[in-house]
Amino acid sequence: MKLSEEQIAFYDVAKNFAIEKMAPHAEKWDEEKILPVETLQELAQLGFAGIYVSPDLGGSGLSRLDSTLIFEGLSQGCTSTAAFLSIHNMATWMIDNFGSQELKERFVPDLCSMKKISSYCLTEPGAGSDAGGLRTKAEKSGDHYILNGTKSFISGGGFSDVYVTMVKTDENSISTLVIEKDSEGLSFGGQEKKMGWNSQPTAQVIFEDCKVPVDNLIGQEGDGFKIAMMGLDGGRLNIAACSLGTAQSAYERAVQYVGEREQFGKKLQEFQALQFKLADMCTELEASRLILREAAIKVDDNTSDKTKAAAMAKRFVTDSGFNIVNEALQIHGGYGYLKDYPLERNLRDLRVHQILEGTNEIMRVIIAREILKENK
């Protein structure tokens, strides 16, 4: 697939920034659980905090394909931070794409500059991949909604300024609200202790008679499920891109390592077993890149099979990415297991990509459902 000169430039800018400004600090961010706000604000200055947001409000107005190139590049510096930026982009896009003009003008410019940071709240303690099973309720009372419920595993929970939240406005409809951090009745659980993604805070978001202005409704009541599903199509592409970029960086480290390390009197690259590993890793990277970019084009073009394509890309690329990093770690032997090398952090960070934005088992359900629908 041929990219334009402009698209190649997006990727190069993102990768160069990642290597120069993110990679040298990623170990510290992981160990000390630091969300690098200043780095994120530098990325915002490059236009990467409102990638597919209207330029009229400070966004870059780019495509989903462009965003996959950007996140593939950024994740080669710090997977966790790149993934957090992806979530911020998804929440900001929802406000820009579906919000009223007043709502957009109130929030989007500050989100595009990362003067304010946004989180996306869908998952609940009893409803993970089952978006239709959420229980958080919003009841209208005058010019406010009163919310009760809990959201779980929220990236930015307790830290972000804005929470784009899916709620039930009646038994059969889901709606989307923008909730500000200082809202009455909003609180947060303790920070989760995680395997990876440590450069981003994660906590429960708790609503106890939380008051939210009716004007903070995105779209119309009942539009929430549609908004969530459209957001997830793009989110799945970006998480796949983060897996791809991380795997690319691990593969490059493995190629370098086998050319330097000697065993039994010869370079590791002379052993056919390792040559075969590298061949498989390279092949899976190219296959992942192709399926991801094809899916991104379908989401951009709003094709009838875009949801299936995004699910296929997310399933294939996140599984392949994890396997490639695991192989790179294996090639490094004991050194790969040490925190002196980034591979063990890469492995920890990528593991969650097979779970979030819908588990890869749910991706198979979506793909199969779309296949059978096409054959009716």
CA dist., res. 120 & res. 122, Å (int): 6
> Which long-range CB contacts under 8 A does 18-22 form with residues at least 24 apart?
18/73, 18/74, 18/75, 18/76, 18/77, 18/78, 18/82, 18/245, 19/76, 19/77, 21/77, 22/74, 22/77, 22/78, 22/81, 22/82
Contact indicator for 70, 51 with CB cutoff of 8 Å: yes
Catalytic hit among 27, 357, 361, 370: 357
Q: Which of 112, 115, 132, 131 is nearest to 123 (CA)?
A: 131
* Sheet strands (E) in 214-324: 217-218, 262-263, 266-267
State yes or no: is 357 an active-site residue.
yes
Alpha-carbon distances, residue 259 vs 24, 146, 314, 337, 343 (angstroms): 23, 62, 32, 19, 17
Which sequence positions are flagged as catalytic? 357
